[in-house]
């Protein structure tokens, strides 16, 4: 236990020393990882007046409603019936035999020895 604690203490001290020596680089790399939140303050939607035309929405409440509806449509639960797919998608979802040998070890049940 003492050896493990000594090793851990040594690693922490080495990390601290590395931060002290390369403080400018460490600060720059730390500060550049700031990822600001996405702000949706405008939206482009189909115009109700002119078919095929687009209009920009700028009012915050309307933009929020457009964003909520768009995400709801994009990420809705799909009602997919695999037996009713056209041949193109049936081919894509079909079981592929070419790499089956590679996947056999992965598909075997786990053993306690592992």
What pLDDT sits at residue 34?
60
Splitting the chain (114 residues) into consecutive groups of 10 residues, what average pLDDT does each group show? Answer: 83 85 79 71 87 90 92 86 86 80 81 71
pTM comes to 0.42
What pLDDT sits at residue 98?
79
Per-domain residue ranges for the chain?
2-31, 43-74
Single out the residue of 70, 93, 69 nearest to residue 81, CA to CA.
Answer: 93
- Cα separation, 76 vs 5, whole angstroms: 51
What pLDDT sits at residue 35?
59
Dihedral angle sign, alpha carbons of residues 56, 59, 60, 61:
negative
Single out the residue of 60, 30, 29, 26 nearest to residue 42, CA to CA.
Answer: 60
73: its two tokens: 């449509």
């Amino acid at each position: 236990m003492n050896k493990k604690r000594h090793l851990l203490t040594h690693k922490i001290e080495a990390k601290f020393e590395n931060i002290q020596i390369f403080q400018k680089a460490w600060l720059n790399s730390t500060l550049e990882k700031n990822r600001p939140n996405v702000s949706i303050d405008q939206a482009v939607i189909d115009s109700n007046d002119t078919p095929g035309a687009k209009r920009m929405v700028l009012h915050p409440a309307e933009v929020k409603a457009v964003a909520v509806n768009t995400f709801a449509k994009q990420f809705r639960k799909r009602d997919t019936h695999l037996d009713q797919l056209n041949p193109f998608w049936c081919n894509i979802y079909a079981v592929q035999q070419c790499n089956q040998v590679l996947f056999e070890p992965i598909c075997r049940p786990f053993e306690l020895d592992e």
